[in-house]
Amino acid sequence: MTDVIAPPAVAHAHEEEHGPSGLMKWITTTDHKVIGLSYIITSVVLFYIAGLLAMGIRVQLITPSGTFISFQQFNELFSMHGSIMLYLFAGPFAFGGLANYIVPLQVGAPDMAFPRLNALSYWLYLGGSIMMLMGFAVAGGAANFGWVAYAPLSTSTYTPGAGQDLWVMALVLTGFSAIFTGVNLVGTIFYLRAPGMTMFRMPIFTWNMLVTAILILIAFPVLTAALVMLFADRHFGTKIYEVVGCHMASGAPDAHACGSSVLWQNLFWFFGHPEVYILALPYFGMVTTILPVFSRKPVFGYKTLVFATMAIAALSTGVWAHHMFTTGTVLLPFFSLMTLLIAVPTGIKFFNWIGTMWRGQIVYKTPFLFCFGFLLGFLMGGVTGVILAAPPLDFFVHTTYFVVAHFHQVLFGSAVFAGFGGFYFWFPKMFGRMLNDRLGKVHFWLLFVGFWLTFMPQYIVGLRGMPRRVASYPADLGWQSWNIASTIGAFLIAASFAVMLVNLWVSWRYPVSAGDNPWDAHTLEWFTTSPPPHHNYMHLPMIRSERPTWDYNHPTSPSIGVHGARYATATPGRDGPSGNGHPPGGNGSGVHAGEASASRAEGASGGSGGGDAGGQPGAAGEPGGSGEPGGPGGEGAP
């Protein structure tokens, strides 16, 4: 039995806190919902900027000796494109934006555990983002050493200039932002869960955000330390990674004065491979949340998914050197085996996702289509990842466009397909209005076709030997036609996101009210109003499974608990009418947010799954409980 802290009393609508409005509300807020929207808006704007940079890269590569941009500008574009997409969009959109907004709602909390720290996290992220983009405005241009900043290329000897320094400091700021957000998510999930919400009744999205937050606390301090040392090399002559000017008079390197450029790779990839799953796990959680809703059935293998997530997190800290096979400094069999092993829990997740859809009554709405696109894209990225886990094959393709295609199918396939699936899914909860489903499907199909047309040719041209990070290539090697196809696909992707802008404008100009739960979704955030009130809930339902809103809205349907036990469900006379999520006179049922007790007290009275011994008093106009017995296996059962 897990004890939880009862949340403080929540103000009623007429008692809701009054504060600044308009721009001052966005600047001074500590409300997790406004901060989450700030993250989402900022990261999506940066996503569009990164997309424009990618278009510049693809236009340059249409012809073998392209002149659209200079080689220096090409280096800046691909360095900044990768940096923005990885550091400023994919992570902050998920664990800064959607997690900030959704996780407190899913666990029944009034806010994040540390609201002011939450606000500081966003401003550090915004400041770091602006600082990185300011590189385009300084002499010498933006960072041009790639998004991995390999030493000694990233030292001042080879890449002097303020743009590189701005890049380093920007990542330090956004790294602290991520660390603070990780602390906040862990504190919120462990200490602010609603009564009855044990760890194994939490939504999978919340589980994935918890594991992601722990990975952040492991990985980001390593990156921050590595960046501080790089800055010291660039400005203070420390020679931690520097290998120039540290030789003795005889010409032999001085072991006490020379640094190690491979040290940067070890530090960066010790951050970088957990970072791949820091970016992927939140999107796995979104897919696991969305698929059951549109399959009209519970998630298949709830506990298996939780333990697979834990296994991925544990293994991700031991695979970093598969990025370094060609350096000759790592133990190839060990890191190859570890990389192959991490495919196992990921494969388990695929079986669970397929099992969730199997024989379900699938509804092909836009969020479901985006999740389906994720499954296909990430599967291809995972299969090619197994190829790259074999050192002999990795030696052959490591410096080619094969790796570019693999990397984009993994991260673009997750962050964009699953990410915008989550955006379409939770948009009604955030704004109380629907996005146009027909435009959403146009967005999806343009993106889906463009995605495959962009990256499949890159596998082929990579196998034919085209190196990555090049602005021109020979005309007689048969690479041009594949690059033309890839560029056409990139333009289709750009067109798809133009359609999304149209969809947003249509939703704003011609709003269609969403109601509180337009998808008939399962998890707790759909129990409150859309958009939620200041402190999220007036009342909370009884939480007897990982699907409390479904249990409340479908009182005659049996609820399957996470231990496999079938709980007796509430009746309309006890818990309000079925289907609308609101009892008469209130916006929830069962437990008043300010009157809830900890789960130990609930267990004593049978209130958290074993049935109420004498009935639960009604809340806000709701009649009292009937005192019906509960089924076996609940928290209050003997």
3-state secondary structure of 567: strand
Write out the two tokens for 428: 């009604």
Q: Of the CATH numbers 1.20.210.10, 3.40.109.10, 2.30.30.40, 1.20.1260.10, which one belongs to the domain with range 29-246+255-509?
A: 1.20.210.10
Per-residue pLDDT of 32-52, as tens digits, reads: 999 999 999 999 999 999 999
DSSP 538-564: SEE----SS-HHHHHH-TTSPEEPTTS
Cα distance between residue 155 and residue 142, in whole Å: 15
Query: What is the rounded CA–CA span in Å between residue 44 and residue 88?
Result: 9
Where do we find the tokens 């699936």? 421
The number of angstroms, rounded, from the C-alpha of 169 to the middle of its chain's C-alpha atoms is 23
**Structure confidence by residue, pLDDT tens digits, 484-524:** 999 999 999 999 999 999 999 999 999 999 999 999 999 99
Place of tokens 């799954």: 609
Task: Tell me the CA distances in angstroms from 89 to 163, 203, 233, 501, 563, one per residue in order.
Answer: 20, 24, 28, 17, 37
Report pLDDT digits (tens) over 544-585: 999 999 999 998 876 544 433 343 333 333 333 333 334 333
**For position 605, what pLDDT does the model report?**
35
Q: How far is CA 300 from the centre of its chain?
A: 21
**One-letter amino acid for residue 343 of the chain:** A
Q: At what angle do helices 32-60 and 115-133 cross, to 10 degrees?
A: 20
What is the pLDDT, as a whole number, of residue 500? 97
Q: 433 pairs with which residues across the strands?
A: 513
The strand pairing partners of 567, in sequence order, are: 559
Whether residue 228 contacts residue 238, with contact meaning beta carbons closer than 8 Å, is answered with no
Q: Which residues contact 545 (CB under 8 A, 6 or more apart)?
A: 201, 551, 559, 560, 561, 562, 567
Closest listed residue to residue 241, CA positions, set 143, 156, 327, 326: 156
Separation between Cα atoms, residue 461 and residue 149, nearest integer Å: 25
Of 576, 608, 571, give the one whose Cα is nearest residue 589: 576
Q: Measured between alpha carbons, how far is 254 from 256 in angstroms, rounded to an integer?
A: 5
From CA 116, how far away is CA 108, in angstroms rounded? 19
Strand, coil or helix: 92: helix
Residues 6+ apart with CB under 8 A from 554: 569, 578, 579
Q: List the domain boundaries for the chain.
A: 29-246+255-509, 543-638
Which residues of the chain register pLDDT less than 50? Answer: 1-15, 560-638
Dist. CA 381–CA 107, nearest whole Å:
32
Type of residue found at 257: A
CB distance 324 to 150 below 8 Å: no
Phi, psi of 63 (to 5 degrees): -110, 150
Structure letter (DSSP) for residue 23: H
Contacts of 563 (CB under 8 A, 6+ apart): 200, 633
Mean pLDDT in the chain? 85
74-99: b or e for each residue (b if 16 or more CB lie within 10 Å)?
A: bbbbbbbbbbbbbbbbbbbbbbbbbb
pTM of the model: 0.85
Q: How far apart are CA 72 and CA 450, in angstroms?
A: 28
Q: Which of 613, 426, 636 is nearest to 543 (CA)?
A: 636
- Residues 358, 362, 366, 369, CA torsion sign: positive
| Beta-ladder partners of 611 | 629
Structure tokens at 231: 């800055």
Residues 619 and 638: their CA atoms lie apart, in Å, by: 27
pLDDT reported for residue 558: 63
CA distance 499 to 579: 33
SS (H, E, C) 229-288: HHHHHHHHCCCCCCCCCCECCCCCECCCCCCCHHHHHHHHHHHHHHHHHHHHHHHHHHHH
Contact 90, 83 (CB under 8 A): no
In the structure encoding, which two tokens stand for residue 636, read together?
């209050």
The Cβ of residue 406 has, within 10 Å, a number of other Cβ atoms equal to 23
In angstroms, rounded to a whole number, what is the distance separating the alpha carbons of residues 602 and 597? 7
The C-alpha atoms of residue 317 and residue 453 are separated, in whole angstroms, by 33
Question: Would you list the DSSP string of 146-179?
Answer: TTTT-TTTTSTTTS-SHHHHHHHHHHHHHHHHHH
CA–CA gap between residue 208 and residue 205 (Å, rounded):
5
DSSP state of 323: G
H or E element that contains 366: helix 366-388
CA separation for the pair 409, 311 (Å, rounded): 22
98: tokens are 């959607």
Q: How large is the C-alpha radius of gyration of the chain?
A: 26
The DSSP bridge pattern shows strands 559-560 and 566-567 to be antiparallel
